[in-house]
Amino acid sequence: MYKVTNPATGEVVENFATATDDEIRDAIDRAHRGYLSWRERPVAERAGIVKRAAELFAERTDELAAIITTEMGKRIEEGKGELATVVDIFTYYAENGESLLADEPLTIKGGEAVIQKCPIGVLVGIMPWNYPYYQVARFAAPNLVLGNTILLKHAPNCPKSSAAIESLLREAGVPADAYINVYATHDQIAWTLADPRIQGVSLTGSERAGAAVAAEAGKNLKKVVLELGGSDPMVILDADDLGETVEIAVASRMGNTGQACNAPKRMIVMSGIYDEFVEKLSKKMSQYTPGDPTDPATTLAPLSSKEAAERLVDQIETAVRQGATLRVGGRHVEGPGAYVEPTVLTDVTPEMDAYSEELFGPVAVVYRVNSEAEAIELANDTPYGLGSSVFSADLDRARRVGARIEAGMVYLNAAGGSQADLPFGGIKLSGVGRELGPLGMEEFMNKKVFRL
């Protein structure tokens, strides 16, 4: 189940043993015992350890980036960029932990009270393969500072990076029982969530996985945070420099070879600039060429697996068969690797599968609209609601449209991204809860009312 398969070559590099049931039970025991002592350490001490972890992530960027290039095919330069974000996240919670966890006074009738911000116990983290370090960082960093302990189940194709994270945190000073990497099965996670010592679960992944984990969590009355899929709209109302807007669109869509939940997947363009936008976008997308992801000069990396590439090509072919127009790309690149040509689709209608599906790879779907109202209606006509962006030379116009988009995040004149101090999360099928920023510290927190 847990193995490293290089998606650039198809070669199985290394296998890892799945945990036994006894090993999982032991990990739960250890994590609970670890919580009882970890929560007693001063916040400043926990924050200092998390700060040291940030320093180690920075020092080992090259080594860690190389691991995920082999595991899931990320271009080496993008891997280094991911590590820079990880450093920012660990640093943010280390430097702001004490203020974020300070007692909050309440003004009440007939007395005084404060809200004390306390940990709740052992948490389970279920992480995806597309950002192997970043996804763990945004869950682990705030909860370690808060005083919770963690059982971390990573994606089956990321066993080496998950082991590297655990080793680094140990070296930083995180106790062996405060963060435990487990190579668990889905069945083992299900009965782990039933254990009364487990207090919550955070999952980043598909909506199917989210529904399954939420069902188990609900059945056992456990707090859950879910960051699921996205089909984010990028609404382009007008532009002083359409070429620059296209550059932003392509860079954000092609980041991580299109395998980002909050990338702009649906580009909604006003009719007056639609034709020029599609022409420029298609030309730019066609300039990406496949290569070795360890080579900094490579522009197109593989998808995470051959199966992922086959699934995406099937989605593209289905869209075309149902009547969509293929402007560029759309094919599996010949060879052993999981490469798919960057693709632009137009003329997608609500009757087509591609209208409501998430296309998780280097595919942009472009829509023509004739008014702000039509753009807003199309932007909201999706089962997802993660991020969004609105582009206009008139900032008031962008604000007006952005205010009516149904999403957890709206960016004006910028593509959706992520930063340590900015909450991240969505609505509808994109999940529940928030990570990062001050809100990321509060999801698995006991906000204890203390009446004086």
The span from the first CA to the last CA of the chain, in angstroms, equals 53
What is the H or E stretch that residue 193 is in?
helix 186-193
Residue 227 appears among annotated catalytic residues: yes
pLDDT of 385 above 90:
yes
Pairwise CA distance, residues 389 & 85, whole Å:
21
Burial of 297 (C-beta count, 10 Å sphere; 0-12/13-18/19+) = exposed
pLDDT for 416 equals 85
Tens of pLDDT, residues 120-139 = 999 999 999 999 999 999 99
Residue of 207, 227, 357, 358 with catalytic role: 227
Average pLDDT score over residue span 203-215: 96
Average pLDDT, the chain: 97
> In terms of Cα–Cα distance, which of 115, 143, 126 is closest to 39?
143
Write down the pTM of the prediction: 0.97
Tens of pLDDT, residues 276-312 = 999 999 999 999 999 999 999 999 999 999 999 999 9
Pairwise CA distance, residues 151 & 197, whole Å:
12
pLDDT for 1 equals 87
pLDDT of 201 above 90:
yes
> How many residues appear in the chain?
452
Tens of pLDDT, residues 261-274 = 999 999 999 999 99
pLDDT for 207 equals 93
Q: How confident is the model at residue 190 (pLDDT cuts 50, 70, 90)?
A: very high
Q: What percentage of the chain carries pLDDT values higher than 70?
A: 100
What is the H or E stretch that residue 72 is in?
helix 61-72
Average pLDDT score over residue span 231-255: 97
Tens of pLDDT, residues 104-125 = 999 999 889 999 999 999 999 9
Q: How confident is the model at residue 63 (pLDDT cuts 50, 70, 90)?
A: very high
pLDDT for 422 equals 97
Residue 107 to residues 73, 115, 293, 451: CA-CA distances in angstroms? 53, 11, 57, 11
- Amino acid at residue number 27: A
Cβ-Cβ contacts under 8 Å for 172 (sequence gap 6 or more): 49, 50, 52, 53, 55, 56
Average pLDDT score over residue span 159-178: 98
Query: In this structure, what is the dihedral angle of CA atoms 62, 63, 66, 71, given to the nearest 10 degrees?
Result: -140
Pairwise CA distance, residues 209 & 64, whole Å:
27
Q: 363-369 and 343-346 as β-strands: parallel, antiparallel, unpaired? A: parallel
Residue of 78, 166, 216, 261 with catalytic role: 261
Tens of pLDDT, residues 338-372 = 999 999 999 999 999 999 999 999 999 999 999 99
> In terms of Cα–Cα distance, which of 233, 178, 217, 188 is closest to 384?
233
pLDDT of 452 above 90:
no
What is the H or E stretch that residue 327 is in?
strand 325-328
Answer whether 208's CB lies under 8 Å from 358's CB: no
